[in-house]
Chain A
Amino acid sequence: MRFVPVVAFLLLLPLLPGSALASERFPPPDFETGYKQPQTITPHARWPVLEYLDVFVLAGALGLSAYLVMKKRSRRGIAALSIFSLAYFGFYRQGCVCAIGSIQNVALGLMGSGYHVPFSVVAFFLLPLLFALFFGRTFCAAVCPHGAIQDVVLLRPLRVPGWLEHTLGLLAYIYLGAAVVFAATGSAFILCEYDPFIALFRLTGSFEMVTLGVCFLVIALFVGRPYCRFLCPYGVLLGLLSRVSKYRVTIYPDKCIKCRLCEDSCPYGAIREPTPEPVAVGRAAGRKTLLLFMALLPVLIAIFSWMGVGIGPSLARSNATVRVAERVWREDTGKASGTTKASSAFRYTGQPPQKLYKEALQIGRRFRTAGGLFGAWVGLVIGLKLIALSVKRRRFEYEADRAACVACGRCYPYCPEEHVRLKALAEIMAKEAVT
C-alpha cells in the first residue's frame, strides 16, 4: 500500500504527455481516519472602497493646493501640503495609482484593445488636468509626490542656461509621444518601468531603479525638479493646459513695481523679465526668421514622420508577441539554434506558428503607423518650439511663465508688495478684533 503511488508513477513515466495536461496520475485517497482536506485560501486584495478614498484625497489636495497658491499665497502651506502628498501618494500608496502613469492606461483604453480603464485611473488622469485649466499647475505644486520629493531635497539651485533649458524641455514631449506609442500598441508601460522615484517610494526595487532614483535626487539638489522640467510627460499636458488657464500665478499680489527682487527667486527658471523696447530693425529680421520657421514646420513633420515609419520595426521588438514570433521563425528557418524560454513556451501550447506570424505582422503594421505618427509629433514639437522662440511677445512686468511655473510659491515672499499686503491684512484683522 505504501508504495502504490511510487509504482504507479514508474508505470506512467513513459506515457507522460506534455506536462500540464497531467492530472489524475495518482487517484485521490479515500481517507479512513476522517481527515478533512484543508481549503485553498485566497487572500483578498486591498479593500476596493479605498480606491475612492484615493480619489477623494486627490480632489481635496488639488482644491487645497489651488487655494494656497491663488488665494492664501502661502509658501509654507504649499510646502506642508506637498509633504503630506509625498507621504500619502508616495510612501503610503507607493506611487500607484499616479497621474503620470495614467496617460498610458488612457492611451491603451482608447485604442479599444479590450482594456478597461479603472475609475480611479480616469480620475487621476482628468482631475489634475481640469484643475490646470483653471488654476495652472497646482497639481505639480503640492499634490504630485514626484514633484514633492524633488522639491524637498532642493539645496542650492543652479541657473540652467536658456538654450539648455529649451532643448532639454523637448525631451518631455518626446517621452510623452513614446509612452503613448508603446502603451497604445499594448507593448510596454515605459513611464512605470523607468520611473525614477517609485523604487524610493517602495523602499525596494532593482539595483538599476534605485540607482536611477538616487541619481535624480542628487541632481535635484542643484537643478530644481529635473524630472518635472525635462522629462515629465504629464507636466507637458499640464503646461499646455495652464497656458489657457483662467487664473494664473502672479509673483505680485496686486501690481509689479519692477524692483527686480524676484529675479533670482525661482529655482525652476520660470520667471520672465519685462522685454526691452523693440527696435524696428530687429523686428524686420525677426519677422523673416518667423516666416522661415513656419515654412520649415511641414518639412520637419514630413522628415520626422518618414524616419518614424523607418524605426517602426525596431520599436515593434518591444512587443512580446513580435519577439516570440521572430524567434520561432528564426528557429524554424534554421537561423538560430536552440530554444529560448519564450519560444519553448510557445511550442508547448501547440499552436501553429502561422497564426503567431500573422499576429506579429499585424502588430508590426500598427507600429509602422504609430512610428509615423510619433515622428510627426516630434517634428511638430521641434517646429513649434522654433516658432515659439522666434515670436517676441512684449512683457511689461515680471511674469511667471504659465507653462513652466509649477506654482511652488517661492517667489511670493520676495515681492515687497506681498509684505505690504500681509501687513495690511494683519492691521485689518487687529482692527476687527478690537471692534
Chain B
Amino acid sequence: MAEGENSKGRREFINGGLRGAMLMGFGALTGLLLDRGQAEDTVWQIDPDLCTQCGNCATYCVLEQSAVKCVHAYVMCGYCDLCTSYFEPQPNALNTGAENQLCPTGAIRRTFVEDPYYQYTIDESLCIGCAKCVKGCTTFGNGSMFLQVRHDRCLNCNECSIAKVCPSRAFRRVPASQPYLLKVKPHAG
C-alpha cells in the first residue's frame, strides 16, 4: 500500500505542475487574444456596392423571416412616378394595384408628394429581403434602395449563414459602433 501512496503523491505532484503550466498558458492566450490593438466588437453587414441582388438573403437567414431588409436612402431617391422598384416591368397602369407591384409581399408603400413626385416607403414588417426592388432600383434607377442587415432582428450569429452563401462576398463584419453601411451619396449639383 505504501507504493500506492507514493505513486499517488507523485501523480498529484505532476498534476500540480501541469495545472500551473496550463494556467500560464491561459494567461498568455488571454493576453494574445485581447491585445490585438483594442479592436472593437463586430456585427454583420452588407456592403451595398458589392451586392448583386441574388436573392439569397431572403432564404438563407437562420430566422424564419430574414434579418435583411430593404432600406431606402431618401436623399438619393428620384421620387419617380414610374418607379422601377415599385412597378412590374410592364405595369398596366401607374397605380397601387397589386397586379402592378413588383414586391411579392406588397411591402412598399407609394404616397403622393406633389406632382409628379411620389414617396416610396418600406414596411419592414412585410419586407422579406428578396432584393427584387433593389434590383429594379440599381439597374434602372438611382440605386437608392439597397439591402441592409437590421440589427434589431439580427442574432449576430458566430458565422452568418447568409454570408456563407453570398456569391459576391458582400457580407462582412463591421464595427458594432457603426453597424450600417448606408448609401448616402449626395446628389451632384
Chain A: residues with CB nearer than 8 A to chain B? 1-6, 9, 13, 16, 19-20, 22-29, 31-33, 35, 37-40, 42-46, 48, 51, 94, 96-97, 101, 104-106, 109-110, 115-119, 122, 126, 129-130, 133-134, 188-189, 192-193, 198-199, 202, 204-205, 241, 243-246, 320, 340-342, 344-346, 348-349, 394, 396
Contacts and interface: CB of A to CB of B under 8 A. Distances in A.
Contact of B39 (A4, A43, A116, A189): A116
Contacts of A43: 150-152
Given A1-B116, A44-B151, A27 B187 contact: yes
Given A48-B176, A205-B62, A109 B36 contact: yes
Contacts of B4: 394, 396
A45 B54 CA distance: 26
Given A28-B75, A341-B52, A42 B142 contact: no
A6 B81 contact: yes
B158 A104 contact: yes
A16 B142 CA distance: 11
26 contacts: A2-B81, A3-B116, A5-B78, A5-B116, A20-B48, A20-B51, A20-B138, A20-B143, A22-B142, A27-B187, A40-B74, A43-B152, A45-B43, A97-B158, A101-B158, A116-B37, A117-B36, A119-B41, A122-B34, A126-B29, A202-B63, A204-B64, A244-B18, A341-B167, A348-B168, A394-B4
B121 to A, nearest CB: 7
A40 B81 contact: no
Interface stretch (B95-103, B125-133, B178-186): B178-186
Interface of B: 4, 14-15, 18-19, 22-23, 26, 29-30, 32-34, 36-37, 39-43, 48-52, 54, 62-64, 71-82, 84, 113-117, 119, 121, 138-144, 150-152, 154-159, 161, 164, 167-169, 173, 176, 179-180, 182-183, 185, 187-189
B23 A27 contact: no
A31 B78 CA distance: 11
A281 B49 CA distance: 76
A340 B144 CA distance: 27
Given A42-B182, A241-B22, A396-B4, A1 B115 contact: yes
A45 B138 contact: no
Contacts of A13: 140
B138 A133 contact: no
